[in-house]
Amino acid sequence: MTDGAASDHPDTGAPRVVLGVSGGIAAYKAASLLRLLTESGHHVTVLPTEAALHFVGAATWAALSGHPVHTDVWSDAHQVPHVRIGRRADLVVVAPATAGLLAKAAHGRADDLLTNTLLTARCPVVFAPAMHTEMWEHPATQANVATLRARGSLVIEPAVGRLTGADTGPGRLPEPEEIFEVCRRVLARWQAGGEAGLAEFADLTGRRLLISAGGTREPLDPVRYLGNRSSGRQGYALASTAVARGAEVVLVAANTELPDPAGVKVIRVRTTAQLRDAMLTEAVTADAVVMAAAVADFRPDSYSDHKLKKADDTWAPIVHLVQNPHVLRELTANRAKPGQVIVGFAAETDDGERRAVEIGRDKLARYGVDVLVVNEVGVDKAFGSPDNEAVIFAAGGAETVVGYGPKEALADAVWDHVVAALPPA
């Protein structure tokens, strides 16, 4: 095979991505990831391992990347490809990363072009593991993952689901679209970071974060509920930006229809009671908790287990409401871990006398949170939109205005505050 290295890519300023593919059945999904990367303007060098070529042949990688591929360091040795490819890369992503590949990477073993390149790369490295649950959970694999993370690599938690055979469990490669999202964010952050080192780039590594998203619903009968218009997008943006900064993330999602972000453990809930249970249980081991969910303040005081029927042409039910527990206040009143950082959201409207932001600011002390994100809501504002604007209040008194923009930008600003408030790891 000939050199398909970065030299084939003209220097257009487009980000240079190395896509490493190791030998697992999920290698076929890497073809979709490659497509997403090339179609969005990245220069991609594909480095399959010999084992990967048993699953997807070199012709597929060459055709989809537009460049020849090779697996060894001897082709075009005069160009020293393993050094050139690694040095020039802006991002290396290995998907799927098998247990064997993670072991080699953790131990610095270099016996093919991909593993050599992993040693010469000075850019962010993302591993998307895929393997059987037993292999993923094996202490050897977990130790290798811990080593890689400690060195600043990003190892995405595998998804839970159907594996090669009929079996299911943790070990599945996340969907290519979701791995692509992580790559996009990692690249954006790396490129914006300038001189920041790898440690600063993945500044949530080793942190366990708990996030709530969406809106709770309170059932009246088997077909009706009281709910709100939250889409969950802000909470999902918080989850995926945290993964791209190295965190382990648990997302409690209330009635959302968004795809599971790569590397995130998603717990689905419907009612406030279910959300409360999940949050209080998961908070025990969380370094930071972010309550981005729109929690229903009230619920009907009774539930009809059959559908409410109109008795005649004028009858309508009178619904009595009771207040729900305030989950955020419970979390701050009983911090499950010393130094745990707790973030609240307040969605406000102007009340005629005071601005929404002023109303929101008061909640910082009232809720006992470390960080409060206040945004103004209205019929056309915030809900369901990919964009958001807000003011972030920190317990020390600092105020940060985050202008109108993608919910990811607000999410990163929230994590900047969390990083500043967390005690040293």
Q: Which residues lie near ligand CTP (CB under 6 A)?
A: 291, 293, 295, 297, 324, 326-328, 344-347
Residue keyed to tokens 């692509």: 180
**Distance separating alpha carbons of residues 405 and 260, to the nearest angstrom:** 22
Shortest spacing between CB 132 and ligand CTP, in angstroms: 38
Shortest spacing between CB 422 and ligand CTP, in angstroms: 19
Shortest spacing between CB 288 and ligand CTP, in angstroms: 13
Q: Which two tokens stand for residue 240?
A: 């995926």
Distance of CA 160 to the CA centre of its chain: 15
What does DSSP assign to residue 284? G
Note whether 328 and 291 are within 8 A (CB).
yes
Distance of CA 25 to the CA centre of its chain: 24
Of residues 112, 77, 95, the one with CA closest to residue 17: 95
Q: Which is nearer to ligand CTP, 8 or 277 (CB)?
A: 277
Q: Which is nearer to ligand CTP, 153 or 216 (CB)?
A: 216
Shortest spacing between CB 328 and ligand CTP, in angstroms: 3
Q: CA distances (Å), 371 to each of 69, 288, 357, in order?
A: 49, 11, 14
Question: Strand pairing partners for 16?
Answer: 43
Residue keyed to tokens 């084992």: 51
**Distance separating alpha carbons of residues 115 and 90, to the nearest angstrom:** 17
Of residues 400, 406, 404, 390, the one with CA closest to residue 420: 400
388 is catalytic: no
Q: Which is nearer to ligand CTP, 295 or 418 (CB)?
A: 295
Q: Which is nearer to ligand CTP, 154 or 293 (CB)?
A: 293
Q: Which is nearer to ligand CTP, 133 or 228 (CB)?
A: 228
Helix (H) or strand (E) holding 341: strand 341-348
Shortest spacing between CB 7 and ligand CTP, in angstroms: 51
User: Measured between alpha carbons, how far apart are the two ends of the chain, in Å?
Assistant: 46
Shortest spacing between CB 308 and ligand CTP, in angstroms: 25
**Distance separating alpha carbons of residues 131 and 134, to the nearest angstrom:** 8
Question: Strand pairing partners for 394?
Answer: 371
Q: Which is nearer to ligand CTP, 148 or 210 (CB)?
A: 210
Q: Pick the catalytic residue: 228, 334, 375, 388?
A: 228
Q: Which residues have a catalytic role annotated?
A: 228
